[in-house]
Amino acid sequence: MLINLGLNFALDRKIQKLASNMKDPVTVKEIIVKDKGSLRTRGAIFALPDYAVVQVTGKDAERFLHAQTTSDVKGLKPEDGQMSALLDRKAHVIALFDIYRHNEKYLLLTPRDQCDCVINQLDTFKFADKVDFEKQDGIFFAIQGPRARRLLMFAGATTAKDLSSPIIDLTLFENEVTVFSRSVTGEEGYILFLQDEKTEAFLEKLRLAAASLEMVELDEKAVDAHRIEAGLVSFGIDLTEEILMPETGLDHTHVSYTKGCFLGQEVLARVKSHGAPSKGLVGLVFAESKESETQAPFPLKSEVHLDSQPIAWIQSNCYSPTLKRYVAIAYVKREYRVVGKTLAVTIGGKQYQVEVSLLPLISPPNSGQRARQLYEEALDCFAREKDDDETSHAESLLREALILEPAMEDAYEALGVILSRRNRLDEAVILMKTLVELNANSVMAHANLSVFYMQQKLIEKAEEEKAISMSIRMRMAAKEATRERQQEEESKRLKEEATGRMDMFRQVLEIDAEDLLALSGMGNCLVMLKEFERALPYLRKAIEVKPTHTVAYVDLARALAGLNEKSQAAKTLEKGIEVASKRGDMMPLKEMQAQLKELT
């Protein structure tokens, strides 16, 4: 593939230069550590000695894992993965891990110190099931950050598309490696699992390639700081077997409430129906101070006091190199768990200002957002470059963008223009053919192929591609017309449905003027119909009847925003966020945060 070949050629020369100056393996590590880059700007590599893999096989493996774990194992497609857990009967967390369906078997990626616990717990409930558990030996290494894909592609991944799978077997630097798509830092990242004992040569090549990409190699302390920034909990530090799953907030990512019975399911359902637990895991961001960077870690379970009363218990904590603040993951009592609220607290007899935050504490750009940033930067560079320049920084940026977003048509088009202007038409043609492989209905790819073939005097091929482009345009126009018609029909159907629901709610309210569901439902229907003024009294009454009904705040804010009363809408959202924070209603909370961001 052109993108990969171009990247490899550039990297190969840089690595050869590094290798020629390398006296021993330590030299490479020094090169990486001394670089000014960071995990979040370029990327990082580091060892993961605390991980293990449990292989689960047997004809009953799917049914057994589905019944024993908290996630929907039956819903896993081949080469797919999901977060999961094991609970006891009272919904205390026994273990956290990821399940992957891979090559007709299941792999559980788990912290090493939980591996035996996972196997023992599963084996306890095995009975007559045809299922076997086996711990897999090997080493684990992480590649994380914006350039993680570039590094893997140099190591041997054929295309960036290979790396979109949650799990894949690849030959990297002539070694057979299982690659898990797994972030342990909040950045896009991968965990490499090698079962071959001869790994020294592999790791040396990996370090050389990382150095050429100006990626850093992190020590254990730095890895842990990035984990905390990303709000990723560590078993034994942030939670133990004494903690209920709903107290961690991980039930939103690790639990399927629709899959059926599993150990601890009844308690989970009961807690969910009765609201948030008395305490929950959130982030604390400390006010900036001169001592922040040198602040000694708080002991685990340090009490946070407000007015001499304990309101929180600190777990993982560190200085955040990204936020330039001291931060912590902590269990905070429900009434103080208000996102964005600043508290004057006392910890260990010393006073601090802390702000309550949702986890994660930081949200780095995803691969698509990074690709768009690189594309915009490439356009700026291209505007300043000349066609006869020996090198093109814009070209490098666009190739990197395509590694992050393999089907980004804008980047293909811009790169094609650069190549054609530099009389590299053969490369430009291969580039567009690559896009056609990814998207056979790309009008832009076929149109550019027509132009490039015309420049090569290949008239027949140019006309053929032009005809294909026109044909696709016509099909797309027909589809668009159909889509618009379907949208109109769907809009009409929803309005009719809302009108019918309003009749039902109206009848209920004639019997009971304070029926919560009828008030909230009537308000929601009127917002859907954009009758914002009429919606206000119903939604305000719903909140009056039940001040913790978070959905009503969402609709009330929409109605106020629709009436251009942005100040009132913002106040409504702030109150709704406070309520949702205390209740642990994550979906309405995130929706209201997004609404508030749009307003401000």
- Identity (one letter) of the amino acid at 163? L
In the predicted structure, residue 13 carries a pLDDT above the cut 90: no
Each residue of 48-87: pLDDT tens digit? 999 999 999 999 999 999 999 999 999 999 999 999 999 9
Which amino acid is residue 468, in one-letter code?
I
The residue to which tokens 């690659």 are assigned: 179
At residue 37, the pLDDT reads 59
Cα(312)–Cα(327) distance, integer angstroms: 14
Write down the pLDDT at residue 161.
65
Residue 448: per-residue pLDDT: 96
- Take residue 570 and report the two structure tokens written for it: 């913002």
**Strand arrangement of the beta sheet that strand 105-111 belongs to:** 81-87, 93-102, 105-111, 51-57, 132-136
Distance CA 71, CA 65 (A): 9
List residues bridging with 101 in a β-sheet: 106
Q: How many other C-beta atoms can be found within 10 angstroms of the C-beta atom of residue 589?
A: 22
- Average pLDDT over the chain reads 91
Between strands 44-47 and 325-333, the pairing is unpaired
Helix, strand and coil percent figures for the chain, each rounded to 5: 50, 20, 30
CA dist 258 and 261 (Å) reads 9
Contact 173, 160 (CB under 8 A): no
- Going along the chain from its start, the domains and CATH numbers come out as 1-274 (3.30.1360.120), 278-364 (2.40.30.110), 386-476 (1.25.40.10), 512-599 (1.25.40.10)
Backbone angles phi and psi of 367, in degrees to 5: -60, -40
32, pLDDT greater than 70: no
Q: Are strands 105-111 and 51-57 parallel, antiparallel or unpaired?
A: antiparallel
Q: What's the order of all strands across the beta sheet hosting 44-47? A: 167-172, 175-181, 189-194, 139-144, 44-47, 216-217
Question: Any idea which of 189-193, 299-303, 493-497 has the lowest mean pLDDT?
Answer: 493-497
Do 163 and 182 meet the contact criterion of CB atoms below 8 Å apart? no
pLDDT of residue 244: 94
160 band by pLDDT with thresholds 50, 70 and 90? low
Tokens of 163: 């790396």
Using CA atoms, how far apart are residues 237 and 284, in angstroms rounded to an integer? 16
| Rounded percentage of the chain residues whose pLDDT exceeds 70 | 93
Q: Over 70: is that where the pLDDT of 2 sits? A: no
Q: What angle do CA 76, 589, 508 make, to 5 degrees?
A: 95
Burial class, 430, CB count within 10 angstroms (exposed 0-12 / middle 13-18 / buried 19+):
middle
Q: What pairs with residue 180 in β-bridges? A: 167, 191
Helices (H) and strands (E) in the chain, counts: 21, 17
Distance CA 435, CA 409 (A): 8
Q: Which residues pair with 317 in a beta bridge?
A: 328
Query: Mean pLDDT lowest for which of 166-175, 226-235, 384-393?
Result: 384-393
pLDDT at 259 (0 to 100): 92
pLDDT score of 462 more than 90: yes
What is the rounded distance in angstroms from the CA atom of residue 192 to the CA atom of residue 367? 19
Residue type, 433: K
pLDDT, tens only, 237-273: 999 999 999 999 999 999 999 998 999 999 998 888 8
